[in-house]
Structures are given as structure tokens and as C-alpha cells.
């Protein structure tokens, strides 16, 4: 487990005087990354590894949005890991130990040379270890698209070099930023669902299709052939 204390800075605060959703995801990712490096003994940000860890699904439930000067404590730990993928909890507490953000994610191990599944050795799995799952809402690992949707709008975005992470993919926080920008300003969400199917890379052209349900907004990320690469859902 990795535990890190952070104070929310002015650069992380948006127009509504709360932490921006993309900065919240970066906060979660930073502590997740530290723990992953610790348990795998691999510094993915400074050296080329044999494999990468690709996010497949993330669920975030916001009890209260962090604000400027909030003092937070972030806990991140693996819960269920096998040779090909693993689950992880990342929980953000306020200075009094009350949970503000509850989240879990599912990531798979991918060989960087072949882009096929990477199999963790028994020694690697032993090093990762396992913690008890945090008790929170479990919503599965897929977003249901077999529902009735009301079309809202469609926009195109090109992935720029500044959007790319050290795995050479569109960084997860930018997916959130692009998707949130499609939502009406008056729509306030407290639950975020993110399903990643395939990664976008530098200079890819994305089409974002925003749809509405009775209680949520769903944003599809499509490639040029209109194949779904990622799906995001925002609920109150």
C-alpha cells in the first residue's frame, strides 16, 4: 500500500471552485503509479519495461468534491491480481479520516513489443501482494450500451503530443477532460464510470459522441472508422 498526503493547490481548482475532474484523476493516477512502481520494482516513467499496465475500467464515487487547501490522504493498494490483470482500490480521505473519494480500477498487463497479454511470473505476483478489497459499490467492469440514448452532439478532437503519456498513449486524465467538456455546465455528477477498450496515440483523430439517458450522460470515443475505443458515463 502507498499512502500519500496532499494539499489541494490553486492550479487544481476549476471555475466551480472545486478540483477539476481531470486533476482528480491525475491525483489518483499519481499515487496508483507510485504504488505500482513499488510493488513491481519497475520505474515505468524513466525506463522502457517489457510490459505496460493498461487501464480497462475505473469507477469513481465522489462523496464530496475536494476544494482549495483541503488536506487529503490518499491510499492506493492492489486487491485481486492474477497473471494477466488486477484490481486496485484508491481511496481519498479528508484530514479527519472521512472518505471523500472511493474508487476501484481494473488494469491488464500488456507486452509492449507484441501488444499482446503479458503473463506475470509467480515471483512478480508474490512481489505485488494483495490487500483486502475496500467495501464500496461494485458496478462491474463494463458500461451497458444496450439502452435507449438521446443524441446530444458530436465533436472531433485530434490527439496532440501534450496529451501523450510515457506509455505513448492518450493519458487517462485527458479522456476525462475531453468528456467532461461535452457535458452541460449545469449537470453536476458524483459518479464516474470509465471503460477503455483500445488506446489512442499521437495525432489520432477522435470523434466524441455525447448521448443522454434519464439519469446520466454517456460519451463515446470513436476512431476514424467509428469503432468504440472508450466509453465514459457520468451520473449524479
Pick the CATH number of 150-235 from 3.10.129.10, 3.40.50.300, 3.20.20.210, 1.10.10.10: 3.10.129.10
What are the boundaries of each domain within the chain? 2-128, 150-235
User: pLDDT tens for residues 75-132?
Assistant: 999 998 899 999 999 999 999 999 999 999 999 998 878 878 999 888 888 888 878 9
pLDDT at residue 39 in the model: 81
DSSP 155-179: EEEEPPGGGB-TTSSB-HHHHHHHH
User: pLDDT tens for residues 142-194?
Assistant: 999 999 999 999 999 999 999 998 888 999 999 999 999 999 999 999 999 99
- Spatial contact of 98 and 25, defined as CB atoms under 8 Å apart: no
pLDDT at residue 96 in the model: 96
Reported as a pLDDT band with limits 50, 70 and 90, residue 221 is very high
User: pLDDT tens for residues 199-216?
Assistant: 999 999 999 999 999 999
Q: Which fold has domain 2-128?
A: Thiol Ester Dehydrase; Chain A (3.10.129)
Reported as a pLDDT band with limits 50, 70 and 90, residue 197 is very high
Asked if domains 2-128 and 150-235 share a fold, the reply is yes
pTM score, whole prediction: 0.92
Separation CA 147–CA 126 (nearest Å): 41
SS3 sequence of 70-122: CEEEEEEEEEEECCCEEEEEEEEECCCCCEEEEEEEEEEEEECCCCCECCCCH
User: pLDDT tens for residues 45-69?
Assistant: 776 777 888 899 999 999 999 999 9
pLDDT at residue 38 in the model: 84
Amino acid at each position: 500500500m502507498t499512502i500519500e498526503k496532499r494539499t489541494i493547490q490553486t492550479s487544481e481548482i476549476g471555475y466551480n471552485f472545486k478540483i477539476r475532474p481531470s486533476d482528480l484523476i491525475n491525483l489518483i493516477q499519481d499515487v496508483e503509479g507510485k504504488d505500482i512502481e513499488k510493488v513491481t520494482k519497475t520505474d515505468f516513467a524513466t525506463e522502457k519495461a517489457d510490459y505496460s499496465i493498461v487501464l480497462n475500467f475505473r469507477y469513481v464515487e465522489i462523496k464530496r468534491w475536494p476544494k482549495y487547501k483541503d488536506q487529503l490522504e490518499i491510499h492506493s493498494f492492489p486487491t485481486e491480481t492474477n497473471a494477466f490483470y488486477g484490481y486496485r482500490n484508491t481511496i481519498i480521505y479528508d484530514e479527519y479520516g472521512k472518505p471523500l473519494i472511493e474508487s476501484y480500477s481494473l488494469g491488464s498487463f500488456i507486452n509492449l513489443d507484441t501488444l499482446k497479454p503479458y503473463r506475470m511470473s509467480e515471483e512478480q505476483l508474490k512481489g505485488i501482494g494483495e490487500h483486502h478489497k475496500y467495501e464500496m459499490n461494485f458496478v462491474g467492469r463494463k458500461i451497458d450500451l444496450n439502452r435507449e440514448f438521446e443524441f446530444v452532439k458530436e465533436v472531433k478532437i485530434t490527439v496532440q503530443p501534450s496529451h501523450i503519456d510515457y506509455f505513448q498513449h492518450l493519458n487517462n486524465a485527458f479522456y476525462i477532460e475531453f468528456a467532461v467538456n461535452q457535458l452541460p455546465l449545469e449537470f453536476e455528477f458524483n459518479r464516474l464510470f470509465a471503460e477503455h477498450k483500445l488506446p489512442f496515440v499521437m495525432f489520432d483523430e477522435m470523434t466524441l459522441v455525447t448521448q443522454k439517458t434519464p439519469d446520466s450522460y454517456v460519451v463515446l470515443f470513436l476512431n476514424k472508422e467509428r469503432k468504440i475505443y472508450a466509453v465514459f458515463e457520468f451520473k449524479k
